């Protein structure tokens, strides 16, 4: 489990913040929170911390995910559970309120999020809009060099992640360069059909080539969010089929990672070349495959017209022709 928690108590267009007397973020405005006690759940811990720091007795809080941090070198340090609590617009809590931890005060949300405001913890302006306005839980990953934040990305989490005692370890593995999140799907595991159909709407075709090939999946925190299929054509040639990434995590470069992994997997399996086909309308895929070393070798005219019952529309045009591409594979010892 992560060791820390933080809560943002909202009253209309204000949030209750504390200007801390102690590290970390000493002298900066931040949410209320602290450290989990042994055997304490994150939810119970944050309710206790809020009471100890503010004397406010919260009946309930809403889980919004975690904020975690790594160094520029990729070392995963840890994180904190994030919660939000709503109080009525006329809730009475006079501020400023002085405590041992620091000064409590209601701050306007637009003041907190102002990009020119250097008086708040540097990552708050990045993740607080998600916490206050988005029903989805996230891992807000902050990259730091010393005390300066150099990067920020948000990854969707399930609501059940609040109760996952291995959450910190699992995310540590995600950012451990020695641990690959891509693996071969086991024979007794269900197919990631939602993902497969995202790339190919013909379920019958999908079932057929997955049965004849090997399906690899990209997994984070027990959830499959990406996949690809390798389909042998003969003893020396394998085809990369059906590369897909969940829509909620697109834009993170996972597609490129999957394609590069597929090329290396084909090389490791002893194939001398790998082929891939994509539609004439798939502009993004054509760009991706060429960046990953594939060259155009031909066009299968009207492939999608012949093989798909319904017209496929993409990027404002009909997908009609299959653009065939290939890449020669060389083992490292051959260089």
DSSP assignment of 310-326 equals: S--EETTEE---EEEEE
Identify the CATH homologous superfamily for domain 4-174. Answer: Nucleoside Triphosphate Pyrophosphohydrolase (3.90.79.10)
Q: Answer yes or no: is pLDDT of 315 > 70.
A: yes
98-123: pLDDT as tens digits: 998 899 999 999 999 998 999 999 89
Domain extents for the chain? 4-174, 182-334
176-190, 196-210, 265-279: the lowest-pLDDT one? 176-190
Q: Report which of residues 217 and 78 the model is more confident about.
A: 217
Q: Select from 156, 158, 144, 179 the least CA-distant residue to 71.
A: 144
53-57, 214-218, 221-225: the lowest-pLDDT one? 221-225
65 with 139: CB under 8 angstroms?
A: yes
Q: Report which of residues 253 and 319 the model is more confident about.
A: 319
181 with 174: CB under 8 angstroms?
A: yes
The helix (H) or strand (E) run that includes residue 300 is: strand 295-300
pLDDT-above-70 percentage for the chain: 92
The whole-model pTM stands at: 0.57
Interatomic CA distance for residues 167 and 158, integer angstroms: 11
Radius of gyration from C-alpha coordinates of the chain? 25
Domain 4-174 matches domain 182-334 at the CATH topology level: no
At residue 161, the pLDDT reads 87
130 with 138: CB under 8 angstroms?
A: yes
34-84: pLDDT as tens digits: 999 999 999 999 999 999 999 999 999 999 999 998 775 556 668 999 999
CATH code for the part of the protein at 182-334: 3.40.630.30
The helix (H) or strand (E) run that includes residue 39 is: none
At residue 24, the pLDDT reads 79
Kindly report whether the peptide bond that precedes residue 24 is cis, defined as omega within 30 degrees of 0: yes
Bridge partners of 106, per DSSP, are: 16
Q: Answer yes or no: is pLDDT of 91 > 80.
A: yes
Give the C-alpha distances (Å, rounded to integers) separating 155 from 67, 83, 174, 290. 10, 16, 12, 27
At residue 141, the pLDDT reads 85
Q: Answer yes or no: is pLDDT of 262 > 80.
A: yes
């Amino acid at each position: 489990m992560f060791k820390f928690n933080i809560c943002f108590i909202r009253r209309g267009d204000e949030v209750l913040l504390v200007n801390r007397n102690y590290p970390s973020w000493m002298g900066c405005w931040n949410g209320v929170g602290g450290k989990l006690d042994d055997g304490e759940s994150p939810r119970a811990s944050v309710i206790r911390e809020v009471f100890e720091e503010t004397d406010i007795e919260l009946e309930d809080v809403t889980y919004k995910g975690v904020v975690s941090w790594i160094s520029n070198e990729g070392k995963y340090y840890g994180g904190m559970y994030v919660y939000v609590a709503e109080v009525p617009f006329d809730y009475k809590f006079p501020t400023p309120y002085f405590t041992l931890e620091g000064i409590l005060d209601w701050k306007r949300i637009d003041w907190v999020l102002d990009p020119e405001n250097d008086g708040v913890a540097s990552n708050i302006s990045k993740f607080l809009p998600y916490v206050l306005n988005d029903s989805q839980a996230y891992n807000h990953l902050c990259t730091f060099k010393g005390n300066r934040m150099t990067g920020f990305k948000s990854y969707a989490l399930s609501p059940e992640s609040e109760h996952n005692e291995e959450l910190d370890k699992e995310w540590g593995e995600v950012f451990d360069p020695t641990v690959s999140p891509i693996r071969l799907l086991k024979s007794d595991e269900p197919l990631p059909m939602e993902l497969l159909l995202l790339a190919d709407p013909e379920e019958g075709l999908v079932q057929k080539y997955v049965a004849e090939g090997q399906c690899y999946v990209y997994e984070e925190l027990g959830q499959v969010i990406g996949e690809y299929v390798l389909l042998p054509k003969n003893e020396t040639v394998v085809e990369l089929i059906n590369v897909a990434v969940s829509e909620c995590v697109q834009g993170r470069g996972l597609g490129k990672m999957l394609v590069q992994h597929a090329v290396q997997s084909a090389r490791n399996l002893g194939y001398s070349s790998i082929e891939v086909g994509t539609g004439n309308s798939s502009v993004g895929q054509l760009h991706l495959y060429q960046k990953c070393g594939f060259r155009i070798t031909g066009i299968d005219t009207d492939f999608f017209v012949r093989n798909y019952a319904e017209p496929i529309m993409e990027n404002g045009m009909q997908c009609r022709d299959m653009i065939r591409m290939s890449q020669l594979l060389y083992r490292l010892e051959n260089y």
